[in-house]
Amino acid sequence: MPRIEVDANRCKACYLCVNACPKKCLGKSKTISKKGYFPAEMVHPENCIGCTMCYMVCPDVAITVIK
Amino acid sequence: MTIIAQKPHSLTDVPMHYCPGCGHGIVHRLMGEAIDELNIGDKVIGVAPVGCAVFADSYFACDMIQGAHGRGPAIATGIKRSKPEAIVFSYQGDGDLASIGMAEIVHAAARSEHITVIFINNAIYGMTGGQMAPTTLVGQVATTAPKGRDPLLQGWPINICEMLSALKGAKYLERVAVDSPQHVMAAKKAIKKAFENQVKGIGFSLVEVLSQCPTNWGVDPLKSLEFVRTKMMPQYPLGVFKDEGAE
């Protein structure tokens, strides 16, 4: 099943990926990162189709897509 | 399980300092991907600007020089002429390229220097705190235009691609945006082509990228995408303005 990994040390919580995901898989994490942000994370991993849209729009190159 | 998308090898592991939602990081990644795909990583020399991207040398895993304000194309000219085998790019913002660096970019284009210029247009001075840039839109509020840019007082915005397209030396000019995945894909094609043109020895290539600056526009990252689409694109239409390398 496709999935993504968000590097919490790079993510600055702009949530452009949350907006870009066509399947609404991404959301806001409940835990605070070392940088002081609530990074994006997978909230519905079962819906992920590995389209890489989140990776495309991520300004911090924090996302890795695995298929 | 295979990795289908990850940070390109041409970028370092250093986390970027740009504000949340800023378009600079997206353009860095696209450039990294283009360099990786063309397999020119060991030949690339970049010129970092003065502006938000002043620390770009930390993010690109290639040789970099940090230039004086606006002088990126002049430094890139020197590198390319002394090392013709190198692939040289100048990365500049609108405060850098369109105001203090206007003479350098126009003459580099007129001489058709074999360099690639990536021009980030966010319609404002980012690093210095949101002053009016030559590309600031009519009516747009900036710290030095608190009532909005008034053309009778501060003049009209400068469209760099349209202006340079009048020069015979400019061989490839395209304006792209990074506000949606579709536009990011188109931007990647344009950036890759600008590097490819240099490999083929076609001449001066410039890609203008409409990028969001949520911090200085005073909006959140999602609204800044809306600003790019509704306010910037009517003034700065996307498209290819010149492509002399096309078969």
Phi/psi of residue B11, nearest 5 degrees: -105, 145
What's the mean pLDDT in B28-45?
96
B1 band by pLDDT with thresholds 50, 70 and 90? confident
CB within 8 Å: A61 and B2: no
Q: Determine the Cα–Cα distance for residues B78 and B157; give it in Å rounded to an integer.
A: 30
Domain A3-66 bears CATH identifier 3.10.180.10: no
Give the one of A19, A50, A60 whose C-beta lies nearest to B4's C-beta. Answer: A50
pLDDT in tens, B112-138: 999 999 999 999 999 999 999 999 999
A interface toward B at CB cutoff 8 Å? Answer: 9-10, 12-16, 19-20, 37, 50, 52-53, 55-61, 63-67
CB within 8 Å: A59 and B6: no
Question: To 10 degrees, what angle do helices B72-82 and B102-110 make?
Answer: 40
Task: Report all structural domains of chain B as residue ranges with CATH numbers, in order of start.
Answer: 24-243 (3.40.50.970)
CB within 8 Å: A65 and B6: yes
- Rg of chain B on CA atoms, in Å: 17
CB within 8 Å: B16 and A14: no
Residue B49 contacts residue B93 (beta carbons within 8 Å): yes
Predicted ipTM of the assembly: 0.95
Judging contacts by C-beta atoms under 8 Å, the chain B residues touching residue A49 are none
Question: pTM for the complete prediction?
Answer: 0.96
- Residue B71 scores a pLDDT above 90: yes
Q: What is the dihedral of CA B153, B209, B99, B138, to 10 degrees?
A: 0
pLDDT in tens, B168-203: 999 999 999 999 999 999 999 999 999 999 999 999
Would you kindly state where each structural domain of chain A is located, as residue ranges?
A: 3-66
Judging contacts by C-beta atoms under 8 Å, the chain A residues touching residue B23 are 59
- Residue B247 scores a pLDDT above 80: no
A10 band by pLDDT with thresholds 50, 70 and 90? very high
Rounded to 5°, angle at Cα B109 from B168 and B52:
150
